[in-house]
Structure 1
Amino acid sequence: MRVYTPMRASAKSFKACRTCACSSLRRASRAVTQHYERHFRGSGLRATQFTILATLAQTGPLSISELSAQLGLDRTTLSRNLRLIEDEGWIAPLGHDDQRVRKMTLTHKGIKKASAALVFWKRADRSVAPILRRFGLQSRPMVRAK
């Protein structure tokens, strides 16, 4: 039998963690995602699914690697999400000369779905500023990967 004695690290040692950029941004990200998810209820889409459809609507067909880079997602996470929306018929693989490259494109059904969900996104986007301010962020963050 093992007996564990609860030990507490010195609170002073971890005081600087209160302002940790990583945990602060993750909390803000979760709050913003929850806000968008609430607004997407009734659209038949999740915020993550809308982001993929909207990206393809803006860029046209992209390989999974290109889409992964655009969205800042690892390929495994993206592939799982793509499979779900492909099963719905909203995206489809596009034929490519190189069989190793799998380009995805919006289907007619996907364009209709994304267009219908745009109203939900606009509502969410117009009302997100108070949540951003709560985390000390400007109302229109221009954070972009280069």
Structure 2
Amino acid sequence: MHSSSLPNETVLQIRDQCLCLAAQRAARKLARRFDRLFAPLGLTNGQFSMLVALSGQWQPRLGELAEFLAMDATTMTAAAKTLEKRGLLQLTADQSDARARRPVLTEAGRVLIAQATPLWRAEHGKLHAQLAKTQASTDPKALAQLLSQLG
């Protein structure tokens, strides 16, 4: 054993008890699952989430959308530009601050979300059924509440 190596029992403790590691692993697995689901539509799960957030009445600035989706500003800008190039959203100047931009869903974006939503509903139903057989909570509000308490 190298002098800088952690004791095996510490490695196992972190592997088995670390909430951050467990959340990261679960998030990656869920992301891959929904990426596969949306692949025939040319969407990732992140793009789906962004487009859905823009499909209602809310008209956020890019920064507000980034905050909602827990993304940094640079990643949000790159993601929005990718969707803009595909014609799924349009970046418009904010009326009160021309430096700020607001992403607006295009008709093509609305059509794509309309195609993706039934896929999401079906997959989400399967996921709920699978999780209901375990001790895992299927209520996203429970996770959101936990995360808000952690800061």
Query: Larger deviation: 58-67 or 81-90?
Result: 58-67
Question: Which among 4, 23, 37 is matched to residue 25 of structure 1?
Answer: 23
- Percentage of identical aligned residues: 22
1:43-100: CA deviations, max 9, x gaps? 2211111100000012432111110111111111111111111100111022323111
Alignment-derived partner of residue 46 in structure 1: 44
Once residues 22 and 62 of structure 2 are traced to their aligned partners in structure 1, the CA distance between those partners, rounded to angstroms, is 30
Amino acid in the other structure paired with 1:35: R
In structure 1, the gaps of 5 or more residues are: 1-5
1:3-40: CA deviations, max 9, x gaps? xxx61432133343121010000011111111112221
Change (3 A) 1:133 1:27: farther
Change (3 A) 1:136 1:72: farther
Alignment-derived partner of residue 113 in structure 1: 112
- The higher relative CO (CA closer than 8 Å, separation ≥ 6) is in 1
The question of 1:14 aligning with 2:1 is answered no
Once residues 129 and 17 of structure 2 are traced to their aligned partners in structure 1, the CA distance between those partners, rounded to angstroms, is 20
Once residues 135 and 73 of structure 1 are traced to their aligned partners in structure 2, the CA distance between those partners, rounded to angstroms, is 30
Question: Which among 73, 79, 82 is matched to residue 81 of structure 1?
Answer: 79
Question: Which among 90, 93, 114 is matched to residue 88 of structure 2?
Answer: 90
Once residues 122 and 35 of structure 1 are traced to their aligned partners in structure 2, the CA distance between those partners, rounded to angstroms, is 13
> Helix, strand or coil for the counterpart of 2:90?
strand
Once residues 31 and 130 of structure 1 are traced to their aligned partners in structure 2, the CA distance between those partners, rounded to angstroms, is 17
The question of 1:138 aligning with 2:137 is answered yes
> Helix, strand or coil for the counterpart of 1:105?
strand
Change (3 A) 1:71 1:33: same
CA contact (8 A) 2:88 2:108 kept: yes
TM-score (norm 1): 0.84
Change (3 A) 1:134 1:47: farther
Amino acid in the other structure paired with 1:91: L
Query: Larger deviation: 81-90 or 54-63?
Result: 54-63
Change (3 A) 1:14 1:44: closer
Cα RMSD for the two superposed structures: 2.2
In structure 2, the gaps of 5 or more residues are: none
